[in-house]
Amino acid sequence: MLIKVPKKILIVVLIGIMSLTYIVSKYEAPKDEPAKQGLDSIDPEGDGIISGKIIEIKNNGILLDVGGGVKNVMIIVDDNSRIYKMNQKEEDRYKKEIEQFSKKMQEQMETPSISVSSEPPSVFISEDVSVDGLLADQQVQIIIEAEGDNLRAKEVFVQ
């Protein structure tokens, strides 16, 4: 499934559902159509999101099992690709951030001249990693860009 929304919203959505669900729909695609690898819904002129389990890292790419009867997908990783490992914050830290955010939102409601970011704190801390830091069997969500028949990773989020 292709989701077209601003990048900031994509990142918030990815972080929020990291361990809860897959973004790629799991439809039954014919296994004998390898040309598009069962991913016909990806816009050839835009970004998309794909999720799955890493099978292996090879030749500057991530071989990804997206499930749902879809053939494994090779995602190209280059120097422009950013890779983030998502680590869950300690519960006390997260609760404190939520309390501070709630207090600021309440202040904004009481005093409209105060401007507060409407983006709540994330339960995750992101850490930059290299492609060497990726391992088989890790779950990933990838913001991709279609380049002809190739899919290039713009950002990779690793659980």
Q: What gap in Å lies between CA 15 and CA 8, rounded to an integer?
A: 11
* pLDDT of res. 96: 94
Scored b (16 or more CB within 10 A) or e, 100-134 reads: ebeeeeeeeeeeeeeeeeeeebbbbebeeeeeeeb
pLDDT tens digits along 132-155:
889 999 999 999 998 878 899 999
Residue pair 23/52 in contact (Cβ under 8 Å)? The answer is no
153 lies in some domain: yes
Give the predicted TM-score (pTM) of the model: 0.63
Q: How large a percentage of the chain has pLDDT more than 90?
A: 34
Residue pair 58/64 in contact (Cβ under 8 Å)? The answer is no
C-alpha distances in Å from residue 112, one per residue of 52, 69, 89, 104, 118: 43, 51, 31, 11, 13
74 lies in some domain: yes
135 lies in some domain: yes
The residues of the chain scoring below 50 in pLDDT are 1-3, 19-38
79 lies in some domain: yes
* CATH code, domain carrying 62: 2.40.50.140
131 lies in some domain: yes
3-state secondary structure (DSSP) of residue 130: coil
67 lies in some domain: yes
Q: What is the DSSP string of 58-107?
A: ETTEEEEE--TTPPPEEEE--TT-EEEEEEEPPHHHHHHHHHHHHHHHHH
Structural domain containing residue 137: 7-28+35-87+122-158
* pLDDT of res. 155: 94
Tell me how many domains the chain contains: 1
* pLDDT of res. 9: 54
* pLDDT of res. 60: 85
62 lies in some domain: yes
Residue pair 24/51 in contact (Cβ under 8 Å)? The answer is yes
C-alpha distances in Å from residue 157, one per residue of 19, 45, 114, 130: 11, 22, 33, 12
* pLDDT of res. 119: 80
50 lies in some domain: yes
